[in-house]
Structure 1
Amino acid sequence: MPVRPRIRMSAVLAGTVLAAALTAASPAGAAAGAVAAPCTGWTMTSPAAGATFAVGAALRIGIARQASAPQKTLTKVDLYKAVPGGTPTLVTTVWQGSQPVTATFTLAGKVPAGLAGRYLYRATAGNCTVEGKAFTVA
């Protein structure tokens, strides 16, 4: 009977190895700020560029699609922290699903506490993204 070697590692090392493996296997972990190809025929209509919202304020995310756009289905909307001169950092996914869009798509919500700064939204439709304009949370 062959002898199988035993590998022992501490819980800290095991957690580090697991976190590294998950990061390497995850596109979001590998390049959270990376942008897929832009979506032709899609635009982010709100929030408007330069808009300012108070923490807890109502907020609408508007996305429009032209009939000729090759991608027809919205799959995700993410919130990113805007980094001046750098790559935006993913904060959270605010909506995920599979929503066919014929003209417009609107999400309503509130600005969460503890998020003062500049942000933007990115929406994913198939293998492309549409990026909104930066807005401020004060």
Structure 2
Amino acid sequence: MRRNTALALTIPLLLAACGTPQDRCIARNTAEFRSVNALLAEVEGNLARGYAWGERQVVRPRLTRCDTVTRDREGRAVITSHSCWRDEIDVERYRIPIDPAAEARKRDGLAERRAALASGANRAVAACRAAYPEGA
């Protein structure tokens, strides 16, 4: 759950680093607003489903092909293949029960926070567009 949120917030920032000066300005000045929006969407999804998603890493052994490099009598490299077991890490999603009343309180708090941040975010976007007009 946290990994998805972090990933969802990191990708726009990485893309913004490659964007125009206007895009970077908007991304920099609306980060908290976008973060609250992402959290609010997650909480609303939890309420709609009736549970939250969690993730855990699971180590599983897998039979795979391994190559071994040896030298023959003349010193040339000889590659031999054989089966071997390797540990692989899988990410497994699982359901987490939620308290609907607590989740609704969280949703209401995030909605209030988003409303408080909205006007500042709108002003920041307008200021960025004025400071860095596209096509100029």
For the superposition of Structure 1 and Structure 2, which TM-score range results when normalised by the shorter chain?
under 0.3
Alignment TM-score, normalising by the size of structure 2: 0.20
Return the structure number with greater strand share: 1
